[in-house]
Amino acid sequence: MNPPPNPPLPGGPPPHPDPRAGQAPPAPVSGAHPGGTAGRHPTESLAPVPAASEILVVDDEEFNRDMLGRRLQRAGFQIRTAVDGRAALAAVGERLPAAVLLDVMMPDLDGLAVLRELRRHYSSHLLPIVMVTARDTGEQIVEALQAGANDYVTKPVDLPVLLARLRTHLALRAAHLSLAERDRKTRTDLEIARRVHRRLFPAALPAISGFSLGFGFAPAAAVGGDFFDLVPAPQGGTGLFFGDISGHGVAGALLTALLKTLLQNACREEPNPAAALRRLNDRISDEFPEGFFVSGLHLTVYPGRPDIHLVSACPDPGLLVRADGSWQALPQGAPFLGMFPSDALPDGDFPASTVALASGDRLVVVTDGLLEVRDPAGRPLTLSGLGDLCGQLVHLPAPAFVEALLARIAEFAGPAGSEDDLMALVVRCDGDPTGGTP
């Protein structure tokens, strides 16, 4: 991400925009030394100076400021100077330099106090600070390094050593800023991908006579590979497809867009759900990159009828939770979609089943990430743990049930959260077999 804007510092005016953002190097200001390369010492041309390398030289001795500033300018740096600690804080607050050369022994506010104040606002990556000291005692050097100094040099300053150290820290700063900018752009791209991925889900849940639905999705990162969609169904039913692409992140999100197209085409071409999943399976085998599969469950819900038809390509699709809080696992399915050609499926087809619901019963369909959530001690939630949580929430309507379930799972995971996407669908029977209300 981008470094924060310069905050105001004690003794300085309000901050100005960081000159790193595509602007030309700042011109010398009051206290800077004239440019020019004539008479440059041979040892001062060790390597090219990075662009926008403005150095703030802080020393209460005019002779030291003048001598060091001139020699650094001959080496290609732009220079600003500050006569004491408070002037240094004001100068940094006005415009962030590329690095600071900071004298240790100064009146009023010494170099260590200035260092500690600057480190409250700027990391050692963003603002390298090299201490300049007349004493090279180990105790003082350790104190400066522990307070956040990047490096130190002793007086009288050995210029080749100083230049080598400055260039090293400026190169590290440039690498850090480049990585921070890449990180910012990546986060922006991931956020866009997350929004696009979420738009692949239905804008609203369908209204089905005798039933209420709830749906919840919590991606582990900015984007995920979980997928939910409405699909054509035979005999006036409503088709629901609930799936999870192996892996998560950008690859999973990109493949969900392809999955949506393949799924819709398969269900239009094959009205029978089992036949549609066979066709989808073969197309995933052909179209997906090697090593990517889909765990999927097709549900058909009929208005006013208590039975729900399932076709499963999912090892643990979820639970049937009764109105009294008891539960049982839904039937396990065939191998993942895309893992085998349809004519090589172990049982010759994707298994189909029918689940009958009484008033107040509900199907709770989840992706594997939810079952694999671990508590701070490393213990997974498992299907049994999910059943216990669901049993405590049966008094809630379907939308509130899903919201409370994901909140309970977040509590279970603790501060570390989940490593995988979490998605849950609830289909609750609100009426008796004839469509009446409970």
Query: Is 394 in contact with 428 (CB distance < 8 Å)?
Result: no
Amino acid 350: pLDDT? 87
Amino acid 398: pLDDT? 96
Amino acid 432: pLDDT? 61
What b/e sequence results for 351-384 when a residue is b if at least 16 CB atoms lie within 10 Å of its CB, and e otherwise? bbeebebebbbbbbbbbbbbbebeeeeeeebebe
Amino acid 97: pLDDT? 95
Q: For residue 438, give Cα distances in angstroms to 210, 362, 400.
A: 10, 14, 18
Phi, psi of 152 (to 5 degrees): -150, 155
- What sections of 270-333 are H helices per DSSP? 273-287
Q: Say if residue 156 is preceded by a cis peptide, omega within 30 of 0.
A: yes
Q: For residue 425, give Cα distances in angstroms to 200, 330, 406, 430.
A: 16, 13, 11, 16
* Cβ atoms within 10 Å, residue 429: 25
Q: For residue 396, give Cα distances in angstroms to 212, 356, 408.
A: 11, 20, 14
Token pair, residue 93, equals 């607050």
Amino acid 221: pLDDT? 62
Q: How far apart are the two ends of the chain, measured CA to CA in Å? A: 54
Which residues, listed in sequence order, are joined to residue 321 by a DSSP beta bridge?
A: 327, 362
Which residues, listed in sequence order, are joined to residue 217 by a DSSP beta bridge?
A: 423
Query: Is 405 in contact with 424 (CB distance < 8 Å)?
Result: yes
Q: Write out pLDDT tens, residues 12-56.
A: 433 443 433 333 333 333 333 333 333 333 333 334 444 458 999
Amino acid 52: pLDDT? 56
Give the sign of the dihedral formed by CA 21, CA 24, CA 25, CA 30: negative
Rounded to whole angstroms, how far apart are CA atoms 268 and 392? 39
Residue type, 235: Q
Q: Domain extents for the chain? A: 42-186, 200-429
Amino acid 248: pLDDT? 62
Q: Which CATH architecture has domain 42-186?
A: 3-Layer(aba) Sandwich (3.40)
Amino acid 223: pLDDT? 67
Token pair, residue 178, equals 């480049």
**CATH numeric code, 200-429:** 3.60.40.10
The DSSP-derived string for 72-127 is HHHTT-EEEEESSHHHHHHHHHHS--SEEEEES--SSS-HHHHHHHHHTTS-TTTS
Residue type, 427: V
Q: Write out pLDDT tens, residues 172-213.
A: 999 999 999 999 998 888 788 778 878 889 999 999 999 999
Query: What is the full per-residue pLDDT of the chain (438 aa) written as tens digits?
Result: 443 444 444 344 334 434 333 333 333 333 333 333 333 333 333 344 444 589 999 999 999 999 999 999 999 999 999 999 999 999 999 999 999 999 999 999 999 999 999 999 999 999 999 999 887 777 888 899 999 999 999 889 999 999 999 999 999 999 999 999 999 998 888 788 778 878 889 999 999 999 999 999 987 765 678 899 999 998 889 999 999 988 666 777 788 989 999 999 999 999 899 999 999 999 999 999 988 999 999 999 999 999 999 999 988 899 999 999 999 999 888 789 998 888 877 677 788 999 999 999 999 999 888 898 999 999 999 999 999 999 999 999 999 999 999 999 999 999 888 878 889 999 999 976 444 433
- Asked, colleague to colleague, whether 42-186 and 200-429 share their fold, the answer is no
Query: Is 333 in contact with 297 (CB distance < 8 Å)?
Result: yes
What b/e sequence results for 80-99 when a residue is b if at least 16 CB atoms lie within 10 Å of its CB, and e otherwise? bbbbbbbbbbbbbbbbbbbb
3-state SS, residue 438: coil
What angle is formed at CA 239 by the lines to CA 237 and CA 244, rounded to 5 degrees?
165
What b/e sequence results for 171-204 when a residue is b if at least 16 CB atoms lie within 10 Å of its CB, and e otherwise? eebbebbeeeeeeeeeeeebeebbeebeeebeee
